Amino acid sequence: MLCRKSLCFRLNPPRVAQRREYWYRAVNHQRLFGSWNTLRTVMRSPMFYAHIAGVGTLVGMVYCYNLERTPISGRVRFNIMGESMTQQLGKKYYEREMERYNDTILPPTSTEHSLVQRIFERIVASPGLAADTWKLYVINDPVRQAFVLPGGEVFVHTGLLNFCESEDEIAVVLGHEIMHRLMQHTSETLSRVLPIIFVDYLFSLASGIDQDLVGLATDVMFLLPRSRAQETEADYFGVQLAAKSGYDPSAALSMWSRWEALEEEVVPVYLHTHPPHHQRLVSFHSWLSEAKRTRLQGRSQVFENAFALQRCFCALDRHP
């Protein structure tokens, strides 16, 4: 019906079924099959496979050029993030975390900070670690958590300190975090994430499948398994580092036994960034004998260094 005074048209709204059909065709049907039809048209082009071969060759060259061996473990991996880029990213992370925890960071004179600092200095005194720049922060927060940033900033929550029953358990946690930084797990993760995001976008664009769903699938298949592998790698070398510094590696068993009894796994394993608690406990059991040998060797090296220093002092006394 036409309203002449207002010069506007008043039309009856379409029926619900018509609206549903319209949106189905406009959003789902046309987008999905239109994209596939476009893709099939492109694939019929005589230059399509030549372009695919060229892009594949270029991607392969970039991948091979950026292969490297992981520090300490020697595992071959793809890492496209340079050291300068990682450090810049680490500064951004550091600024964000400092802004987040600025009001809850304990002073260096606090009992908690002094405890962690003493253990931390003993661990980083190992050869090859003291030269790096490390900063330690203790956060007054009940969450049982510790993490490290690419720049060497280590954050430990008081909730984790209250959970640990000995300095040996704290040393196992610190060794784990230190190894994350030494093996540059952050840059490795970013090197995997960036190409996967690009592939997710292209696949979602071509297929019409929601990008969030595609992203979840690639996370489960590629990113999360690698994250769990990195955690296992940090567990293994972290407990070795703690043992080399003179701490008891069997503390990892007691700590993870309590953790397993305290928390129930409600999320499926394939959606976890970390291995399940019982799996980590089994892994530490298998590494215990080797870690104990590492501890004995570390103590022997400390004694040898002390005896060498004593011999040096004796020689100086004989020859003033």
Catalytic residue ranges: 177
Q: How many Cβ atoms from other residues are within 10 Å of residue 34's Cβ?
A: 11
CA–CA distance, 248 with 254 (Å, rounded to integer): 11
Both structure tokens of 200:
């997710």
Three-state SS sequence of the chain: CEECCCCEECCCCCCHHHHHHHHHHHHHHHHHHHHHHHHHHHHCCCCHHHHHHHHHHHHHHHHHHCEEECCCCCCEEECCCCHHHHHHHHHHHHHHHHHHHCCCECCCCCHHHHHHHHHHHHHHCCCCCCCCCCEEEEECCCCCCEEECCCCEEEEEHHHHHHCCCHHHHHHHHHHHHHHHHCCHHHHHHHHHHHHHHHHHHHHHHHCCCHHHHHHHHHHHHHHHHHHHHHHHHHHHHHHHHHHCCCCCCHHHHHHHHHHHHCCCCCCHHHCCCCCHHHHHHHHHHHHHHHHHHHHHHHHHHHHHHHHHHHHHHHHHHCC
Token pair 């789902």 in the structure block, residue: 28
Burial class of residue 288 (count of CB atoms within 10 Å of its CB; 0-12, 13-18, 19+) = middle
Q: In what order do the strands lie in the sheet with 146-148?
A: 135-139, 153-157, 146-148
* DSSP-derived pairing of the beta strands 153-157 and 146-148: antiparallel
